[in-house]
Structure formats: C-alpha cells, structure tokens
C-alpha cells in the first residue's frame, strides 16, 4: 500500500523527466498549458456562481446601503448617494433597539434550549441501544421539513382558542394563553418553535462528537471511580469542548438570520414584539420598498455574523489541531 | 466451592439481565422522546384529515377521516406543488453540474489557493439569505428573471452549492491519486478521468448532495417570497404562507398542504436514510 502510493509520484516524475529529455519541447509546453486550462475549467462554473450569487450581493448591499434606493429607482434608474444616512435612519428608528434586543434574546434563548436538549439527547443516544440508530435518524425530521410547514403546524398547535396546547393546559386549569397574539408571550412562543426545529442539528453534531471520544477513556475513568455525572464532568465535557464551540458558534450564525419561522408564525408582530434585525431587513426592503434601509439592516446582520464566523474559524482550527 | 461458583454465575446472570432491562428501558425511553419530538408532525397529519372548518378539532385521532382538506389543497395548491417540484429538480441539476467538477478540482488538483477557496465557501454559507435576496431583486428586475423558474432555480442553488462542494470534495479526497494517474497514463483526459473514475467513486456523496439540493430548494421560502411578485410562478411554501396570511379560514386545507409539502422529506428520510444521515453529519449546514 505504502509502496504503491510512493511509487506513483516517482513514476510521474520519471515520465515527465523523460519527456523533458526529448528534443521537441514545444508540444510538451502546450500539453501542460492545456492541462492547466482544463484544470481551471473545472472550477470556473463554481467560481462564477460564487461571485455572482454571493460576492455580488454582498458588494451590492454595501453600495445600496449608501443609496436612496426605493421603488422609484426601478423606474428612473436613479439611486442618489446618501452616505451613511440609511445607517442613521436605522439606528435612530425606534424599532432598532427592540429589534436588536429581540435578536439577542431569540438567538441566546434558542441556542441555550437547542443545545441543552440536544446534548441530553445526544448523550442518551450514545448508549447505543436497539433501534437507537433508527430513532436518531427519525429525529432529523423536524429539521428536514420546510420551515414554513413547521410554522403552519405550530400556528395550529398554538392557536389560542382551539389549539391543542391550550386545550392540554386547560385540563390542568391553565387559562388559554394567547401564544402568538399577545406581545408578552409571542417571542417566547417563537423561541420554543425554533428550539424544536434546531434540536436535530444539535443532536447530530454532538452525537458525532461523543462517538469520537475513545471508549478507553471511560474504562480508565471507571477504575478511578469516575462514573455517571463524574464521567460526564471529567471525561465527556473536556473532550467534547471543541465540538461544543463549533456547535454553539454555528448555532449563532444560523439563528441570527432566521426569517421563515418568524414570518410564518407572527410576521414580526404582535405590536412588533417579535421583530428582529433579519425581519426588519426583509420588511424595509420588500414591504416598505426601502431597499437602502433594508440593506443597512442586513449589513448590520452580516457584521454580527462575521464576528462569529471569525470565532468559528479559530475554534475550528483549534479543534483540528487538537 | 460449588456454591461459590453458583453464586458467582447467578450474580453474573442477574447483572446481564439488569443490563438487558436497561437497554430495553432505553429503547422505550427513546421511542417516547421521539414521539414527543414528532408529535407536531402527527398533529399536522391528524388535523389535515379532520372535516374542514375554521376551528381546529380536538380529536386525537381522525376516526372519520375526511379528505376534503386534501381536495381543497390540491385544487388550490396543486399547480404550486408542481412548480416547487420543477424548481427543486432544476436546482439539483444546476447544483450538481456546478459543484461536482469544482469538488473534484478542489480535492485532486494542487491549486495553491485551495485553502482560500474553502474559506470563501465556508463564509458564503453564513451570508444571510436576505442579503442575497435584496441584491438579486434589483438584478433580476433588470434581467427579467423575476417570476421565472430559472431565476428561482439559480437563487435556490445558493442554498445548496457550497454544501454540495464541501461534501463531495470530502469524498473525492479519498480517491488515491494513483488511480487517476493510471487512467491518465492510459490516455484519459481530465474530463474522462472525472466522469469515469471520480464520479462513480463519489457516487454516494453525489446522491447526498443531490438529495439535499432537492430538499433545500423544495423548502425555500425566502426567495419564493422575494423574487416573485405575481401568482404565476408560486412555490408551495409561498402558497402556505398566503394561506396563513389572512385569518386562517380552512385549517384542514392548510394542514393538508403542509402534509403534501412534507412528503419529500418524510419519504427521503425513510428510503434514503443512509444518504440523509451522511449529509446531516458531513455538512453541518443550514
């Protein structure tokens, strides 16, 4: 096996060496040129796509956020330059503070819930009992459904008058809670749904991390009396740490931009109690047709994501190094 | 002496039995957890089979299933389901056509900038969809791509292409360079080597990438919402949103549409579990 893999490059250098020795070097040159062009052609479609559908939007958003870009722009083609005016509009709007706070609450609470339940389930499935593989795969379902389907389903469950949740709570004498129609609980309801959607992702990644911890560590720990909670505290947790940081940071990056669930459940209401930066960005652009202001909102979103992306990449590198 | 060994073995037997009971208890507990997690999905199916009306029935089981909801769903949303299907299939084709060669190149060719390309792909996955929608709306407006299937296919591919490149590259990394080298010596061009060696070996990753491209495009809501302005081209996710928009007047039709839109995910999770599980662990996206 080893000899095979070391042989191959040696053979190839021998071949090219032989070719170099032939008097005709022009065809060889054009062969390598063609070779390199062929290689580049493999990545050209993807490179173009990435530029057009990721690079261009980011650049365009930056420019748009400095322009008075509205419906009028589509007719006149004019988008007057306004500098940082859109950002001033955003930050001084009275929805900015609440939206930022909601984004933080939504993100932190969602991740805390998803992670805690996800870790518990991952530890549970790590026991590998009969059917565990099948059950774990089925657990992916909430994550694979279209988010708007999840929203519709939860809308029916959380319905104040006839939803099953209130009927269930009613049997314990709890008065009907206006989950999605009261500003006091709407954010909580949206967070609960998002936790439900995110659990499978957390279970999958954390389970993978648990599987990578060598069984010998637990066997050795058992001799030292580390079982149960102690084994988790002194063996599982320290070894899982790199995976944990990746899960948490990716969680932030993906949760901060959640839009489908909030639009499907509450549309940012009632009384703006579920407005987040992502919802603001969507509504400014596609409801108010203030594309410049919407772009400013989404750039704020990008900056927050970017901070966590950098943390992610560093954590990931550490995870690889360790 | 004999009693001692007897005792010993009976202790062992009871320990084994305790272990067996424990694993059985785990299975039962696992089923309970799953039932709890999947209850909303059961409830969706249940609600879809209740007689139509604007209130939700509290029956725990559809004893007298009514298919009125499905009739209305198909009448209202049948065309939208078809639109979603066409868009999802188109996205699979575009994603694989663009991502597979790139994955092969990033796995096998020794470009100096590979780590930069991978970094760009990772970052691209983190860009909020609303940023892309914001810019595409203006561009599509100029190009006449609003309200068009190609426009939605190309936009939806942005959900899938970075993921597809990463997951296919991971599997193509394991192809020994010597195999491709051998084919090249036999006179196969780069393209031949890619199609007849790399693609068959990476078949599983190709299927996983294709399945997820389908699911991502089928689930897409943001681009459907922002890049269409008429109801000519309307993916079913948008159809559900419009059902929900006003006061919901017919829950069984909404839920029937929800069930129909869940079918691809449910079917794929059952028949292609291996590939879905591979994608869930390998990709770590969405």
Chain B touched by A190 (CB under 8 Å): no
In chain A, residues with a C-beta closer than 8 Å to the C-beta of B36 are: none
Name the minimum distance, in Å, from the CA of B98 to any CA of chain A: 5
- Token pair belonging to B267: 């079917």
In chain B, residues with a C-beta closer than 8 Å to the C-beta of A47 are: 102
Burial, A82: exposed, middle or buried (Cβ in 10 Å; 0-12, 13-18, 19+)? middle
Chain Cα centroid distance, residue A269: 24
Cβ partners under 8 Å of residue A26, min gap 6:
none
- Mean pLDDT (whole number) for A276-291: 95
- Residues A12 and A3: their CA atoms lie apart, in Å, by 14
- Token pair belonging to A259: 């839009």
Q: Is B186 helix (H, G, I), strand (E, B) or coil?
A: coil
Chain A touched by B153 (CB under 8 Å): no
Name the minimum distance, in Å, from the CA of A235 to any CA of chain B: 22
Q: Say how many CA atoms lie within 13 Å of B245 toward its Cβ.
A: 8
Name the minimum distance, in Å, from the CA of B102 to any CA of chain A: 5
Chain A touched by B262 (CB under 8 Å): yes
- Residues B158 and A54: their CA atoms lie apart, in Å, by 8
The answer to whether the Cβ–Cβ distance between B30 and A135 falls below 8 Å is yes
Query: What is the reported pLDDT for A3?
Result: 36
Query: What is the reported pLDDT for B82?
Result: 96
Residue A303, pLDDT > 50, answer yes
- Token pair belonging to A255: 């949760």
In chain A, residues with a C-beta closer than 8 Å to the C-beta of B257 are: 152
> Is the ipTM reported for this complex over the cut 0.85?
yes
Name the minimum distance, in Å, from the CA of B2 to any CA of chain A: 30
Q: Whose CA is closest to B218, among B239, B237, B205?
A: B237
Strand partners, A70: A290
Give per-residue burial for B234-261: e unless 16+ CB within 10 Å, then b.
bbbbbbbbebbeeebebbbbbbbbbbbb
Question: What is the sign, positive or negative, of the torsion defined by CA atoms of A42, A44, A45, A47?
Answer: positive
Query: What is the reported pLDDT for B19?
Result: 80
- Residues B166 and A137: their CA atoms lie apart, in Å, by 22
Among A59-63, A89-93, A220-224, A270-274, the least confident range: A220-224
Q: How distant, in Å, are the alpha carbons of A28, A143, A254, B163, B170 from that of B95?
A: 35, 21, 21, 10, 16
- Percent of chain A at pLDDT > 70 equals 89
The answer to whether the Cβ–Cβ distance between B265 and A144 falls below 8 Å is yes
Give the closest of A150, A152, A295 to B254, CB-based: A152
The answer to whether the Cβ–Cβ distance between B104 and A42 falls below 8 Å is yes
Query: What is the distance between the terminal CA atoms of chain A, rounded to a whole angstrom?
Result: 28
In chain B, residues with a C-beta closer than 8 Å to the C-beta of A43 are: 101-102, 105-106, 111, 117
pLDDT in tens, chain B (286 residues): 444 555 566 666 777 888 888 888 999 999 999 999 999 999 999 989 888 666 666 678 888 888 988 999 999 999 999 999 999 999 999 999 999 999 999 998 888 898 899 989 988 988 999 999 999 999 999 999 999 999 999 999 999 999 999 999 988 988 888 888 888 888 888 888 899 888 999 999 999 999 999 999 999 999 999 999 998 899 999 999 998 876 677 888 999 999 999 999 999 998 998 888 888 776 554 3
Residue of B nearest to A163 (CA): B56
In the stretch 3-22 of chain B, residues with CB closer than 8 A to chain A read: none
In chain A, residues with a C-beta closer than 8 Å to the C-beta of B226 are: 282, 285-286
Q: Which helix (H) or strand (E) holds A219?
A: helix A215-223
Cα A286–Cα A291–Cα A294 angle in degrees, nearest 5: 80
B54 secondary structure, DSSP code: S
- Token pair belonging to B115: 């780590």
> Is the Cβ–Cβ distance between B283 and B215 less than 8 Å?
no
Chain B touched by A222 (CB under 8 Å): no
Cα B270–Cα B93–Cα B191 angle in degrees, nearest 5: 115
Average pLDDT over chain A, rounded to an integer: 87
Name the minimum distance, in Å, from the CA of B138 to any CA of chain A: 8
Helices and strands in chain A, H and E counts = 17, 0
The verdict on domain B77-283 having CATH code 1.10.3720.10 is: yes
Query: What is the reported pLDDT for B37?
Result: 95
> Is the Cβ–Cβ distance between B130 and B222 less than 8 Å?
yes
Strand partners, A67: A81
Q: Is A70 helix (H, G, I), strand (E, B) or coil?
A: strand
Mutation site for A-interface testing, chosen from B280, B281, B283, B285 by largest number of A Cβ within 10 Å: B280
Name the minimum distance, in Å, from the CA of B100 to any CA of chain A: 9
Chain A touched by B195 (CB under 8 Å): no
- Residues B16 and A317: their CA atoms lie apart, in Å, by 43
- Token pair belonging to A182: 């009261």
Query: What is the reported pLDDT for A129?
Result: 87
Residue A4, pLDDT > 80, answer no
Residue A185, pLDDT > 60, answer yes
Query: What is the distance between the terminal CA atoms of chain B, rounded to a whole angstrom?
Result: 64
Residue A187, pLDDT > 90, answer yes
Chain B touched by A106 (CB under 8 Å): no
Chain A touched by B258 (CB under 8 Å): yes
Give the closest of B105, B123, B141 to A39, CB-based: B105
- Mean pLDDT (whole number) for A123-145: 90
Beta strands in chain A (DSSP E): none
Query: What is the reported pLDDT for A28?
Result: 63
Domain ranges of chain B: 77-283
Residue A65, pLDDT > 80, answer yes
- Residues A94 and A118: their CA atoms lie apart, in Å, by 36
Which homologous superfamily is A86-321 in? MetI-like (1.10.3720.10)
In sequence order, which ranges of chain B are alpha helices (DSSP H)? Answer: 2-48, 68-108, 114-126, 129-143, 149-172, 177-185, 190-193, 199-201, 203-219, 222-226, 236-245, 251-271, 273-283
């Amino acid at each position: 096996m080893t000899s095979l893999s070391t042989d191959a490059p040696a053979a190839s250098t021998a071949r090219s060496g032989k070719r170099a020795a032939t008097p005709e070097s022009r065809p060889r040159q054009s062969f390598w040129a063609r070779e390199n062009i062929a290689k580049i052609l493999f990545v050209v479609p993807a490179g173009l796509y990435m530029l057009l559908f990721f690079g261009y939007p980011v650049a365009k958003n930056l420019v748009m956020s400095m322009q008075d870009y509205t419906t009028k722009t589509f007719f006149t083609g004019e988008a007057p330059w306004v500098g940082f005016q859109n950002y001033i509009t955003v930050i001084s709007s009275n929805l900015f503070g609440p939206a930022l706070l909601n984004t933080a609450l939504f993100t932190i609470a969602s991740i805390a819930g998803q992670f805690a339940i996800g870790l518990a389930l991952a530890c549970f499935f790590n026991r590998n009992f009969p059917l565990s593989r099948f059950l774990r795969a089925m657990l992916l379902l909430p994550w694979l459904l279209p988010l708007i389907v999840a929203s519709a389903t939860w809308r029916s469950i959380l319905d104040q008058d006839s939803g099953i949740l209130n009927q269930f709570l009613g049997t314990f004498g709890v008065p009907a809670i206006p989950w999605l129609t009261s500003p006091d609980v709407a954010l909580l309801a949206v967070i609960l749904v998002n936790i439900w959607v995110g659990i499978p992702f957390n279970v999958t990644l954390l389970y993978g991390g648990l599987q990578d911890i060598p069984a010998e560590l637990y066997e050795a720990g058992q001799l030292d009396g580390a079982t149960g909670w102690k084994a988790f505290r002194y063996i599982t947790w320290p070894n899982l740490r790199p995976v944990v940081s990746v899960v948490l940071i990716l969680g932030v990056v993906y949760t901060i931009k959640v839009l489908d669930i909030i639009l499907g459940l509450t549309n940012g209401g009632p009384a703006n109690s579920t407005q987040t930066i992502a919802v603001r960005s969507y509504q400014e652009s596609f409801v108010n047709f203030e594309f410049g202001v919407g772009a400013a909102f989404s750039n704020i979103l990008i900056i927050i994501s970017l901070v966590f992306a950098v943390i992610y990449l560093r954590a990931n590198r550490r995870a690889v190094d360790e | 002496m004999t009693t001692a060994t007897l005792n010993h073995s009976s202790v062992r037997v009871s320990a084994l039995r305790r272990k067996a009971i424990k694993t059985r208890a785990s299975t039962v507990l696992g089923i309970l957890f799953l039932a709890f997690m999947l209850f909303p999905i059961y409830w969706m199916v249940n609600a879809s089979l209740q007689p139509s009306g604007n209130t939700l029935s509290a029956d725990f089981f559809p004893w007298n299933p009514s298919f009125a909801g499905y009739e209305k769903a198909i009448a209202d949303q049948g065309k939208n389901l078809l639109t979603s299907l066409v868009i999802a299939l188109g996205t699979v084709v575009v994603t694989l056509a663009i991502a597979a060669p790139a994955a092969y190149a990033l796995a096998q060719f020794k470009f100096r900038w590979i780590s930069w390309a991978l970094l760009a792909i990772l970052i691209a996955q983190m860009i909020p969809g609303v940023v892309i929608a914001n810019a595409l709306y203006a561009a599509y407006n100029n190009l006449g791509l609003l309200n068009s299937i190609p426009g939605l296919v190309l936009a939806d591919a942005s959900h899938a292409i970075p993921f597809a490149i990463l997951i296919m590259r991971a599997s193509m990394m394991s192809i020994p360079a010597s195999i491709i080298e051998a084919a090249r010596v036999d006179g196969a061009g780069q393209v031949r080597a890619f199609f007849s060696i790399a693609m068959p070996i990476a078949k599983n990753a190709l299927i996983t990438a294709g399945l997820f491209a389908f699911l991502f495009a089928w689930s897409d809501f943001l681009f459907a919402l922002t890049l269409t302005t008429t109801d000519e081209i309307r993916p079913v996710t948008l159809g559900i949103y419009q059902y929900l928009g006003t006061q919901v007047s017919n829950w069984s039709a909404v839920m029937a549409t929800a069930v129909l839109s869940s079918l691809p995910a449910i079917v794929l999770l059952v028949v292609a579990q291996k590939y879905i599980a591979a994608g869930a662990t390998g990709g770590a996206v969405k």
